[in-house]
A and B are shown apart, each in its own frame.
Chain A
Amino acid sequence: MNENLLTVSTSPHILGRMSVRSMYLEYIIALAPALLVGFYYFGFPALITVLLTVASAAVSDFVASKIQKKPTTLGSLHILCMGLMLGMILPPGAPWWLPVIGGALTVFLGISIFGGIGAYPMNPVLVAWVALAISWPEAMNSFLEPQALGSGEEWNEAETLLMQLKGDVSTLEMVEMGVLWLGKVPGYIGSTSTWALLAGGVYLIIRRIIPWQIPIGALLGAIVMALIATYTDPRILELGYEEFAANMNVVWFHLGAGGLMIAAFFLGPEPVSSPVTPWGTFLFGVGIGLMTIIVRTWGGLVDGAFYGVLLMNAANPLLDRIRPRVIGKVVSGA
C-alpha cells in the first residue's frame, strides 16, 4: 500500500480567494464610510441604535440556530452585515426597543423562516424595516438635527427634507446641494451621506461583489423619472423653472435625499435577494429608481426607495428569466 496517496477530484484544482465570510466582510468595509459619517453627525444616539440592532440580530440568529438544531452561521458575518444595514436605515435616537425588535425581525421574519442564507426571496433588512415602519410610524419618523461630533449641544428634533418636500415644494430652493450630498441633513443614520455611500458602492462594483447594472440602472431610472416629474408636476411647474440646469437641480436633490443611494448600492444589490442575469439586474435597478421618484412625487408615502427594492424583489423570478444568448447553442431553423 502506497502511503503517499494522491487526491483525485474534478477540476478546477485551484479556487479564487473569495469566501462567504470575506464577501460580507468587504460589504461591511464598503458600508463603513457612510456609517462613520452617520456617527459623526448623529453622535452617541446613532452609535447606540446601530449597536443594539447588530447585537439583537446576532442573538436572534444564535437562538434561531438553536431552535433549528443547526450550527450557528454567525462566523460568515452575513447576519452581522444584515444587522448593520438595518441599523443604518433606522432614525438616530430611536427608543431602545425599536432596533431590538428590528434585529429580531430581520433574522426570524426575513431569513430563518425561509431557510437561511441563499433561500430568502426578499431583502430581510427591508422586510424588518417595513414591519417597523408600519407598526410604529411615529418612532420611525422622528429624526434628529445633525451636529458635528463633540459639539455637546442638545439634540433637536427635525424633519427630513423629503417630509418637508411633501408639504412644500419650495424646500427645493432652500437646500444647499453640497451640504445635502455631504450628509449634514436629518435622516436615517447611514443613508444621509451620498458621497460616502457612492465611495462604498464603487468599491463593491470594482471588487465584483455587486453587479454594476443594479446601481447604474437605479440611478438612470431615478434621473429619468425625476426629470419627467419636474416637467409635469404642477407644484414644481408653479416654481417657474425655465433653464434645464434648474430642473437638473431637482434631479440632484432626489439623488442626494432619502434612501435612494443606499437602496441603489447596498440594499438592492444584496447578493441573495437580487437577480443574477445581466438584463434582469439592470431592469431590477431601473425599477428601484422609478419607484423611488414615483412615490416621492405622487405617492402617499415619504420615500419609495425601500418599497421599490421590495417590489422588485418580488419580480425576481420573472427578471431571472431574461437570459442572455448561450454562446455555441445550436438554434434550430436559424
Chain B
Amino acid sequence: MKLANLLKGIRLPRPPAAAPPVDLPAPEKVYLPLRQHRGAVAEAKVEPGEKVALGQVVGASEAFESATVQATVSGVVEAIVDTVDPAGQKVPAVVIKNDGADAWAEDSTLGESLTDPAGVKGTRPSHLLRRLREAGLVRAQVEGRPLHVDLSPPMAPQSYLYMTGIPVVRPVDTLIISAVDADPPVCPNRSCLGQSIEELSVGVAALARISGAKRVILALPSGSDTASIAAMAGQYEWEVASVSQTAYPFATDNFLVQSLTGREVSTPYGEPKDVGVALQPMISAMDVGKVLMSGRPVIDRIFSVAGEVKNPQTFRVRLGTPISEVLAAAGGGPSRPGKIIVGGPMMGLAIFDPTTPVTRETEGVFVQSAAKVVAYADHPCIHCGRCVAACPVNLIPSELGKLCEFRMYEEAADMDLMNCIECGCCAYVCPARRPMVHFLRHGKTEVLAGRME
C-alpha cells in the first residue's frame, strides 16, 4: 500500500470474520424487475397465467445495454406489476408464484459446458461474450452495467479523453479481480473467499480471454485466509496482491487500479477500461464461471446482510426475493427500523420500501435501527481542514460545501467539484457534522442541469 493511502481517507473499524454463504430456500413469490442495471428496460416475454420453468427467459431486449431476465423459480406468472429498484425508480417486474418443483426449462442451456481454464482458452472470445450476454450477467453495484457491456471495447472514442494524451482506445492488457469489499461491513466477496475455486478459475480465465488481458491480478483482502486462492493463482500464473480492508476508500475501482498498476483513471467520466485495465469483483467472476461450467443462467445472487440484524450473514438468494424476507431469515431487523441501505454504510443507498427485490445489481444490505440513524447538523463550516486531510482525491471539500450551500455551483465546478467521487470521507470526519456529500451531490446535479440548458 502506498504511503499516501495511510495519510488520506479514513480508517474503518476492522469488519468481523465472514462466514461462507448460506443457501436461502426459494421464496413463495419472486419479483423479477425487467431492468436490473443501468440501461434499457427489457420487454416482458411472458403473459400472466403462463407456466414458466427455471431459467426460462421472461424478459429480453434488443438494446445493447440491457440484460436478459430469466425465471428464478418454476411456477405460474401471476402478474406484471410496478416495483421499485434500489435507486428508488419505478420499474415493471414479472411476479412468479413458486410451485416448488424447481424444474429447469429444456431450452435453458447456453451451449456446452467448459469445465477448465484450458477449455476456455480454446474458445473464441466472442463466443464467451455471447454466452455471458445470454445469461444476462450484471456488474454487482447499484446502476451497474451488464457484464457484456463492461467487457466490450468502447463503441466510439471517448470525448473526455481527447485532450489528455491518453491513447483514445487503449487495448486492455490487465485484468484485476477484486475480492476486497469496498464498503467492508457488507462483504459478499470476502465471505466467498475460498469457495468454489473451480468456478472462479474458469470465470477468471474467461474474463481474461474476453478482455484480452495478458496480466491477471487477484486483489485479496489482507488478514484473510487466502491460501486456496493463492494456490490456484500460482497454478495459472496469476499475480496475487494484498489490499487493506480498513483503509477506505482505497478498495474502490479507481484506487485499486492506481495502486496495483500505477495508472490513473480520469474522473468523473473515465473508467478503468480507458487505461487498459478490466476490473471485476470476485463474485462476478464466480458467476461467469458458473454460467460457463453449468451452461445455465445464474438464478441466485450472493447477498450479504450486515448491521443491526440478529445474525449478520451472507446468503445465496434467488433473484427477485424481497429484501424483507432475507432480513427475516437473518433473524429480523431491529424493533424500530431506521434505515435499510443497499450497499455499504459509506456509499450505499437508503431504500424506502423493504419489499424491494434482490436484483443483479444488489450485493447486500446494511441495516440500522432508528436510534443509530445519524443526524446531520445545520452548523457552519468551522474551517478545521479535517476534510481536506481526508479527501482521497485532494479536493478542498470545505470550500466546495460552502459554495454549493450558497448556490454558487459554477464557482464550485471551477474548483473541481465534478472530480468528487462521493466516497463520504469528508462527511465522516466533519466535526460540525455537515451533510457534505449531500451538498456536493446537489451541486453536481445543478451544474449538469445548468449545462444542459
Contacts and interface: CB of A to CB of B under 8 A. Distances in A.
Question: Are these two chains actual partners, yes or no?
Answer: yes
Contacts of B383: 118, 271-273, 276
A325 interface: yes
Nearest to A324: B394
Given A4-B336, A277-B388, A328-B265, 14 more contacts: A4-B337, A6-B350, A10-B437, A11-B349, A11-B437, A12-B347, A12-B428, A14-B346, A271-B382, A271-B385, A276-B396, A327-B392, A329-B419, A332-B164
- Say what secondary structure dominates the interface of chain B: loop
Interface stretch (B18-26, B32-40, B313-321, B365-373): B365-373
B241 interface: no
Nearest to B255: A327
7 contacts: A6-B340, A9-B339, A10-B441, A14-B345, A117-B380, A274-B385, A328-B268
Contact of A330 (B266, B351, B354, B432): B266
Contact of A118 (B352, B380, B427): B380
A331 interface: yes
Given A328-B265, A329-B416, A15 B385 contact: no
A8 B386 CA distance: 26
B370 A7 contact: yes
Highest count of chain B CB atoms <10 Å: which of A4, A23, A119: A4
A326 B266 CA distance: 10
B431 interface: yes
B431 A10 contact: no
A118 B381 contact: yes
Interface in A56-71: none
Interface residues of B, number: 70
Contacts of B438: 9-10
Contacts of B266: 328-330
Interface of A: 4, 6-16, 18-20, 22-23, 116-119, 208-209, 211, 271-278, 281, 320, 323-334
B70 to A, nearest CB: 30
Q: 5 shortest A-B CB distances, which residue pairs? A: A276-B385, A12-B424, A328-B267, A271-B384, A332-B163
A22 B431 contact: yes
A7 B352 CA distance: 7
A271 B452 CA distance: 39
A18 B182 CA distance: 23
A186 B169 CA distance: 71
Given A15-B427, A15-B433, A208-B389, A323 B338 contact: no
B418 to A, nearest CB: 9
B346 A12 contact: yes
B405 to A, nearest CB: 12
A13 B396 contact: no
B348 A13 contact: yes
Contact of A23 (B339, B384, B392, B421): B384
Nearest to B268: A328
Contacts of B366: 13
Given A6-B350, A13-B366, A328-B270, A23 B164 contact: no
A14 B374 contact: yes
A309 B347 CA distance: 39
Given A12-B346, A12-B347, A329-B419, A6 B352 contact: yes
Interface string B148-183: 000000000000110111000000000000000000
A271 B430 CA distance: 12
B354 A6 contact: yes
B212 interface: no
Contacts of B446: none
B263 to A, nearest CB: 11
Nearest to A273: B383
B341 interface: yes
A12 B384 contact: no
A329 B266 CA distance: 6
Contacts of B201: none
Contacts of A13: 339, 341, 345-346, 348, 350, 366, 368, 373-374
B451 interface: no
B441 A276 contact: no
B231 interface: no
Contacts of A330: 160-161, 163-164, 266, 270
A292 to B, nearest CB: 23
A332 B163 CA distance: 5
Given A271-B383, A277-B388, A330-B160, A12 B437 contact: yes
Contacts of B88: 8
Contact of B346 (A11, A23, A275): A11
Contact of B384 (A6, A22, A272, A327): A272
Contacts of A281: 385
B427 A19 contact: no
A330 B428 CA distance: 27
A275 B384 CA distance: 8
